[in-house]
Amino acid sequence: MKLFLKFDFTKICNVLLEEKLNACNFKYQQTAFGEIELLEQVSKQQFEEFNNSIKDYGIYVIEDAKKIMVQKIKDVIIDMVFNDENDISVKTSVFLAEKLNQNYSYLSNLFSEVTFTSIENYIILQKIEYTKTLLTNEELSLTEIAYKLNYSSVAHLSKQFKNTTGITPSAFQRIIIKRKENRID
């Protein structure tokens, strides 16, 4: 039997971090997604224990200032794309500059310097990941998805999808449908 699951990665990460922070008896406050303020000093040993406890889950404490800002950029982009409450039609440069209170040129240059790709490419990757999620878990047409993600047309979404994944959204849908049909109950 196969189970098809829908994930809320933000909630998963928040619950996991809460469990790990509480296990270490840290007094903390989550100030933003991926950002936690420790409300009291912790020993180096306590910090190392916490750090080691989250590494198995692919979560790492970032200590380099540039990498911290890049992670903040990524978090804002993910929130912008995946959070239905955000107005995705707002220009990305304006959205990022306002959310991070930084000049977009600075953010763009820093992102490229650290990740060796552009903010625009990262946004496309996130939109395609969200498209795959919507195609897998929702009953939305490509037209509805293109509108939801602020694409100018279905053709534009389809082209970016194929350039990123190597297959068209329709082919991706057929694969998902075939997998669901072939599952053993």
Both tokens of residue 67?
């990498």
Question: What is the pLDDT at residue 172?
Answer: 93
CA angle in degrees (0–180, nearest 5) for 20-78-100: 90
Both tokens of residue 104?
């977009």
Q: What is the domain partition of the chain in residue ranges? A: 9-55, 65-182
Question: What is the pLDDT at residue 86?
Answer: 60
Which residues does 82 contact at the CB level (< 8 Å), separation at least 6? 10, 126, 130
CATH fold of the domain at 65-182: Arc Repressor Mutant, subunit A (1.10.10)
Question: How far, in whole angstroms, is CA 50 from its chain's centroid?
Answer: 23
For residue 142, the tally of other CB atoms under 10 A from its CB is 20
| pLDDT values of the chain reduced to their tens digit, one per residue, 185 residues | 777 777 777 788 888 999 999 999 999 888 877 788 888 888 889 889 998 999 988 888 888 889 989 999 999 999 889 887 766 667 889 999 999 999 999 999 999 999 999 999 999 999 999 999 999 887 888 999 999 898 999 999 999 999 999 999 999 988 888 887 876 55
Residue 135 one-letter amino acid: L
Question: What is the pLDDT at residue 146?
Answer: 92
pTM flag (> 0.85): no
| DSSP states along 84-133 | TTS-TTS-HHHHHHHHHTS-HHHHHHHHHHHHSS-HHHHHHHHHHHHHHH
